[in-house]
Amino acid sequence: LTLASIPSDVIRNILSAGPESINEMKLISPRWNALALSRLSNRKNLPQIQCLEYFCWRIDSNYGKWSLRLPEKFRNCFGLRKWSAGFNNEVMLTEYVC
């Protein structure tokens, strides 16, 4: 038995139990990747963020900027792992807990 051969229903349970490491799980096999992407495509499956420490959205005639601070453990779940620093956007990753 290998990780790649585990039944899909078991994989879905594993994905739901460990959303913080879902990007690593996607690398196991194409089926794991497909099941993870399917899970992440439904907003209700994303982990709940209990609070935001900081949020600011500023738009003026020259540019738009928004900043967000959330616990680092959620960065992979929300696509912040490959966050682009362009357009003056800023993400602060912390272990802050409300």
- Tell me what pLDDT residue 88 has: 42
61, 78 contact by CB (below 8 A):
no
Highest averaged pLDDT of the listed ranges 12-16, 45-49, 93-97: 12-16
- Tell me what pLDDT residue 34 has: 93
- Tell me what pLDDT residue 6 has: 92
Measured CA distances, 98 to 29, 53, 76, 92 (Å) = 36, 8, 20, 15
Instruction: Return the domain boundaries, the chain.
Output: 3-45, 54-94
pLDDT tens-digit readout, 30-70: 999 999 888 888 877 776 666 555 555 566 666 655 566 66
- Bigger pLDDT: 74 or 41? 41
- Tell me what pLDDT residue 35 has: 92
Per-position b or e across 84-94, b if 16+ CB within 10 A of its CB = eeeeeeeeebe
